[in-house]
Amino acid sequence: MEKPLEYLKGCMKPDQYEKLAALNNSKLNEFIADSVQLCTPDDVHLCDGSKNEYDTTMAAMVEEGLATDLKARENCFHFRSDPSDVARVEGRTYIACENESDAGPTNNWIHPDELKGTMRDLYNGCMKGRTLFVIPFSMGPIGSPISKIGFEITDSGYVVCNMHIMTRVGDEVLETLGQGDFIPCLHSVGKPLAEGESDNGQWPCAPVDKKYISHFTEEQKIWSFGSGYGGNALLGKKCLALRIASVMAKKEGWMAEHMLILRLTNPEGKKFHIAAAFPSACGKTNLAMLESTVEGWKVECVGDDIAWMKMEDNGQLRAINPESGFFGVAPGTNSKTNPMAVKSCEKNSIFTNCVVTDDGDVWWEDGDGECKHGIDWKGREWTPDSGEKGAHPNARFTAPAAQCPTICPDWEDPAGVPIDIFIFGGRRSELVPLVTEAMDWDHGVYMGATAASEKTAAALDSGVAIRRDPFAMLPFCAYHMADYWQHWFDMGDKLGNKAPKIFYVNWFQKNEKGKFIWPGFGENSRVLKWMCERVDGKAGAYDTAIGKMPKKEDLDLDGIDLTDEEMDKILSVDTEGWKKELPIVREFFETMGDKLPDRMVAQVDRLEERLGK
* Whole-angstrom distance, CA of residue 423 vs CA of residue 421: 7
Residue range 512-532: average pLDDT? 96
| Residue 238 is assigned to a ligand binding site | yes
Asked if residue 15 has pLDDT above 80, the reply is: yes
Q: What are the φ and ψ backbone dihedral angles of 301, each rounded to 5 degrees?
A: -90, 130
pLDDT in tens, 568-582: 999 999 999 999 999
4-65+89-253 architecture in CATH?
Answer: 3-Layer(aba) Sandwich (3.40)
Q: Residue 341: name the closest of 353, 329, 354, 356 by CA.
A: 329
| 572 burial via Cβ count (<10 Å: 0-12, 13-18, 19+) | middle
Average pLDDT over residues 328-335: 95
pLDDT recorded at residue 281: 77
3-state SS, residue 44: strand
Q: What is the pLDDT of residue 355?
A: 98
Q: Start-end ranges of CATH 2.170.8.10 in the chain?
A: 325-403
Query: In terms of Cα–Cα distance, which of 202, 191, 229 is closest to 92?
Result: 229
Q: How big is the CA angle at 117 (ends 113 and 122), to the nearest 5 degrees?
A: 145
Asked if residue 321 belongs to a known ligand binding site, the reply is no
Beta bridge partners of 265: 271, 298
| Residue 198 neighbours by CB distance under 10 Å | 11
**Distance separating alpha carbons of residues 229 and 203, to the nearest angstrom:** 9
DSSP string spanning 381-410?
A: EE-TTSSS-SS-TT-EEEEEGGG-TTB-TT
Single out the residue of 563, 555, 535, 506 nearest to residue 293, CA to CA: 555
- CA 465 and chain centroid, separation: 24
What is the pLDDT confidence band of residue 610, given thresholds at 50, 70 and 90?
very high
Query: Closest Cα partner for 221 from 462, 397, 30, 41?
Result: 30
Boundaries of CATH 3.90.228.20 in the chain? 259-304+420-611
Residue 283 confidence (pLDDT) above 90? no
Q: Kindly report the CATH number that applies to the domain delimited by 325-403.
A: 2.170.8.10
pTM for the model stands at 0.96
- Report strand pairing: 421-425 vs 501-505: parallel
- Pairing of β 260-265 and β 255-257: unpaired
Q: What is the mean pLDDT of residues 242-260?
A: 98
Residue type, 312: E
Sheet holding 381-382, edge to edge: 362-363, 355-357, 374-375, 381-382
Is 129 within any annotated ligand binding site? Answer: no
The pLDDT score that the predictor gives to residue 1 is: 67
Closest by Cα among 435, 417, 439 to 501: 439
* Least confident among 47-56, 80-89, 135-144, 196-205: 196-205
Per DSSP bridges, beta strands 77-79 and 93-96 are unpaired
The 10s digit of each residue's pLDDT in 526-559 is: 999 999 999 999 999 999 999 999 999 999 999 9
Q: Is 284 a known ligand-binding residue?
A: yes
Q: Are 216 and 96 in contact (CB under 8 A)?
A: yes
Q: Could you tell me the end-to-end alpha-carbon distance of the chain, in angstroms, rounded to an integer?
A: 67
CA dihedral (86, 91, 97, 98) in degrees, to 10, reads -150
For residue 457, what pLDDT band results from cuts at 50, 70 and 90? very low
Consult the annotation and say whether 266 binds a ligand.
no
Residues of the chain with CATH 3.40.449.10: 4-65+89-253
Residue 170 known to bind ligand: no
State the amino acid at position 340 in one-letter form: M
Contacts of 363 (CB under 8 A, 6+ apart): 354, 355, 357, 369, 370, 371, 374, 390, 391
Helices (H) and strands (E) in the chain, counts: 18, 32
Structurally, at CATH architecture level, domain 259-304+420-611 sits in Alpha-Beta Complex (3.90)
3-state secondary structure of 128: coil
Measured CA to CA in angstroms, residue 400 lies from 71, 302, 345, 403, 441 at distances of 19, 13, 8, 6, 35
The percentage of the chain sitting over the pLDDT mark of 70, rounded to a whole number, equals 98
Residue 464 predicted with pLDDT over 60: no
Are 190 and 130 a contacting pair, CB within 8 Å? no
484 among annotated binding-site residues: no
Q: What is the pLDDT of residues 197-226, one digit of tens each?
A: 878 778 889 999 999 999 999 999 999 999
- Taking the C-alpha atoms of residue 31 and residue 182, their distance in angstroms, rounded to an integer, is 11
Residue 148 is assigned to a ligand binding site:
no
Which pLDDT tens digit goes with each residue over 38-77?
A: 999 999 999 999 999 999 999 999 999 999 999 999 999 9
Tell me, what's the pLDDT at 460?
A: 40
Q: In what order do the strands lie in the sheet with 417-418?
A: 255-257, 307-311, 317-320, 417-418
The answer to whether the annotation marks 229 as part of a ligand binding site is: yes
Q: Tell whether the model's pLDDT for residue 459 goes beyond 50.
A: no
Active site (catalytic) residues:
282
Please state, rounded to an integer, the average pLDDT across all residues of the chain: 95
